[in-house]
A and B are shown apart, each in its own frame.
Chain A
Amino acid sequence: MMSLVEIRKSFLVSIWFMFLTFPIMVIRVNTVENIVEWRWNNMIAVGVGSFLLSFVWRYLIRRKEQGVRRQRESAGPRVSIFQRIGEDRRIFLPALTAAALAVVVFPFLVSMYQINIMTTAFMYIMLGLGLNIVVGVAGLLDLGYVAFYAVGAYTYALLNYHFGLNFWVCLPIGAALGALFGILLGFPVLRLRGDYLAIVTLGFGEIIRLILENWNEFSFGPSGISNIPRPGFFGVEFSLLAHTRYIYFLVVLITIFTIFMVNRLQNSRIGRAWLALREDEIACQAMGVDKVRTKLTAFALGATWAGLAGVIFAAKTTFINPASFTLWESINILCIVVLGGMGSIVGVILGALVLVLLPEYLRAFAEYRILTFGCVLVLMMVFRPGGIVSNVRRTYRFEGPDSGDK
């Protein structure tokens, strides 16, 4: 297999990368003490590394191309393993029970730190599912999703600070305000398409964050709001550990509620309208779907979950400031949706678990964490663009008396 041509190709790649990384990897200047540091061993590492990796890269690209060809030859859609699990009740029910059991038992087995991570993961599932409505189902690329998350968090923090409202009162208010902001954003951007929509939503997210950062009288600026009370439970006093577990179960419950709702929504009339709108706006309008209302509901419903998650976030961390709501946060949530598999609920759940848990447990190589994360994103898109669980569209087959296949 390792023909001479292959070796020559890899050799060239390695030379190219050694050249490419030369100034940044090899030289380090210290302008204060006027020292130049030459790190030649880095160059050797890059050379050897890229030499070996280029074989792997070409092998994977070749395999991908073969895969495409094979798929073209076999006409039927390939059924993924997750779908098979989902469709076969004999596997699905035990799997679900096992997952439920694991979720319930989890907080009693591990440390508080681990519970907190898991709670965060569940919150991201909620956020991912909410954004999935907007991006995955309705096909509206939203880069400012975190704004609604911020709206929820600040709703609770400010209402609590000024009026002493408790968590349970603020939860629906946060969700409602999220929806309201969703509609507020939705109105002006109705006419925009694709990338313009992306940049306007990005701008909207930044506007909200910058206002929170600069309007000191309203939001206490960059220093944020601290001492936000945790959610109460009929006035029962909890220890810190018990409280962590309580929030964990709370988030799990709301997540299950989210999954239920989103699932029902996707198969509803409005859900099908979203899908149709994503595929072809004009045809959709011709079929009598109200474009304005459909898009606005997508924005509003997506934002509702972000608002909910925001209230929970404020209650969980007891401290919020604008730094939690940057563009990277939006992008992170978007990555959950896309990596998991757009439009697929199971995919989003897996995506959230992977994207939250992986960086947490990669802390061992803390320095290389984000570097690896960036790599994974690129590789994932190149070699498995549909995400972890690609969503296969629901198809209806007409099986009338004349359509018997020979």
Chain B
Amino acid sequence: MDLQYFAELFLGGLTRGSIYALIALGYTMVYGIIELINFAHGEIYMIGAFTGLIVATVLTFAGFPTLAVLVIASVAAVVYSSCYGFTMEKIAYKPLRGAPRLSALISAIGMSLFLQNYVLLAQTSDFLPFPSLVPDLAFWEPYAHIISSQEIVIITVTAVVMVLLNLLIKFTRMGKAMRATSQDREMAMLTGVDVNRVISMTFVIGSATAALGAVLIASHIGQINFYIGFIAGIKAFVAAVLGGIGSVPGAVVGALVLGWTESFFTGYISSDYEDVFAFIFLVVILIFKPSGILGRSETQKV
């Protein structure tokens, strides 16, 4: 076996998995707290990419240095995506608390259609070239043939975000409130947790990580359009379910597993059936372990 080829596929899978993980977080956190598949989450990711592109372009014309452009564009993308996530929750999901889950799902689908077409109409239906925002790191030059510095940045950012998020959930007051809400919403309310705020926060955090992922992946791939949210959303959702939806470490594991599966499958077998294989893998995992890799299996009580 060619070791370098293997390493390339391994690192490619790691990069892919990192991106999926950043998006999957939003799904899994929202699901963990209000048990809703937020179908419009991919659209938040897409809006993050567009905001990043627009801000970056305007700043570049204004003559800002590259690093400043990267930082400001990322911050703008994160802020705007969070605001969109927040508003979306208030409009489309909050009035539906306590409604059947299917209603919330349909509402999410409607939101997704709306946001897609909003960007389509306000911007363009064409692919837009995305500037390569992440600079090439000079010290990395000798190893760039194995893994580019962009990929390094993606992997590092993901790792940092994951660690921070884990700390947030484990050690802060907000994290505690989140865990309480996801265990038992009514009981959390009784003990004085502001559930509405927790839910809003969840949407904000999930949207922020998705936006970060959007800026990174867009500058890695180099082009975006209004439709990118859909397939990214589906993939990330698969990753979240694979790892056990509702569990944050599960989302990371699921995303990495999905990234590697796709990468190795494409590299060694065939690139035509990449997505087929991802789905077959998902089906097989769920059949043998219906709650996902890291999910707790719940026994149903009468």
- Chain A-chain B contacts (Cβ-Cβ < 8 Å), number: 175
Which residue in B55, B101, B103, B114 is a CB contact (below 8 Å) of A23? B55
Which residue in B58, B76, B113, B276 is a CB contact (below 8 Å) of A210? B276
Question: Which residues of chain B have C-beta atoms less than 8 A from A21's C-beta?
Answer: 122
Alpha-carbon distance between A198 and B61 when the two chains are bound, in angstroms: 46
| Contact indicator A381/B113 (Cβ below 8 Å) | no
Alpha-carbon distance between A319 and B21 when the two chains are bound, in angstroms: 40
Main secondary structure of the interface of B (DSSP, over half): helix
Q: Is B147 an interface residue (CB 8 A)?
A: no
Nearest-Cβ distance from residue A62 to partner chain B, whole angstroms = 12
Most A C-beta atoms less than 10 A away, residue of B122, B129, B290: B122
Q: Is B104 an interface residue (CB 8 A)?
A: yes
A342-B279 contact given A24-B47, A28-B123, CB 8 Å threshold: no
Q: Is B148 an interface residue (CB 8 A)?
A: no
Q: Is A27 an interface residue (CB 8 A)?
A: yes
| Contact indicator B109/A377 (Cβ below 8 Å) | yes
| Contact indicator B123/A24 (Cβ below 8 Å) | yes
Main secondary structure of the interface of A (DSSP, over half): helix
| Contact indicator A374/B54 (Cβ below 8 Å) | no
Alpha-carbon distance between A331 and B233 when the two chains are bound, in angstroms: 15
Question: Which residues of chain B have C-beta atoms less than 8 A from A214's C-beta?
Answer: 272-273, 276
Q: Is A134 an interface residue (CB 8 A)?
A: no
| Contact indicator B87/A16 (Cβ below 8 Å) | yes
| A-side interface residues, number (CB < 8 Å) | 63
10 A-B pairs whose Cβ atoms sit less than 8 Å apart in the complex: A23-B50, A23-B54, A24-B123, A193-B290, A193-B300, A195-B245, A198-B105, A214-B276, A377-B113, A378-B91
Known: A135-B102, A200-B286. 16 other contacts (CB 8 A): A20-B84, A24-B54, A28-B54, A29-B128, A31-B128, A36-B58, A42-B122, A192-B290, A196-B241, A196-B245, A196-B286, A281-B300, A282-B302, A342-B102, A376-B110, A385-B100
Residues of A within 8 A of B (CB): 16, 19-21, 23-25, 27-29, 31-32, 34, 36, 42, 61, 64, 135, 141, 188-189, 191-196, 198-200, 202-204, 206-207, 210-211, 214, 280-283, 327, 331, 334-335, 338-339, 342, 367-368, 370-371, 373-378, 380-382, 385
